[in-house]
Structure 1
Amino acid sequence: MYLLGLGIALLLMKYLEFGPVAEWSWWVVLAPFALAAAWWAWADFSGYTRRKAVEKMDQKKRDRLDKQREALGIKTGRRR
């Protein structure tokens, strides 16, 4: 996401001819978009995206169970 933001900022600076970016090659300005696409392809291929989604769901489940235990008056002394 950071690469996408950087790409948009550089693209606007190049288009508006602001600062030293106005003199840079278009290849340099558009490079963050290619890097972002490569990152997303790698994240999907390697399972990184799926793993993060599962971790997020597991954390929500743990939080929900802890909240229910607290409502019942059971202490939630988690072991880690």
Structure 2
Amino acid sequence: MAFIVIGVLMLLLHFAGLGPTAAWDPLSVTGFAKFSVPFLLALAWWAWADGTGLTKRREMDREVEKQKERRKRHIEAMGLGPDQRSSSFRRR
């Protein structure tokens, strides 16, 4: 995502006429190459992340965290949480 943001910022700076990107000609081969580098790096990163399973592992970790939070909320809603359980034993 950072590479995409950098590429978009480069394009915005170019069209605004600010910074070193203002002098680059996007229609020339070298100018096009300079503007396309961040987008190509983003493409390479996404291909690597998907190919190694990094994206799927992150998704699975998020699902596990959601399940833990859901389970915790349900236990507390039933009054079986650690606070409720310890206080009920003290009353007896």
**1:73 match: secondary structure:** coil
Report the equivalent of 2:50: 44
- The runs of at least 4 aligned residues of structure 1 exceeding 4 Å deviation read none
Report the equivalent of 1:73: 79
Structure whose alpha-carbon radius of gyration is higher: 2
Compute the displacement of 1:23 (Å).
2.4
Structure 1: segments with no counterpart, 5+ residues: none
Compute the displacement of 1:76 (Å).
5.0
Q: Distance in 2 between matches of 1:76 and 1:51?
A: 31
Question: Normalising by structure 2, what TM-score?
Answer: 0.74
CA RMSD of aligned residues (A): 1.8
2:36 aligned with 1:30? yes
Number of residue equivalences = 77
For each residue in 1:1-59, what CA deviation from the matched residue of structure 2 results, as whole angstroms up to 9, or x when unmatched? 11101101101222333222212452222211000000000010000010001001111
Letter in 1 for 2:64: D
Structure 2: segments with no counterpart, 5+ residues: 25-29, 84-92
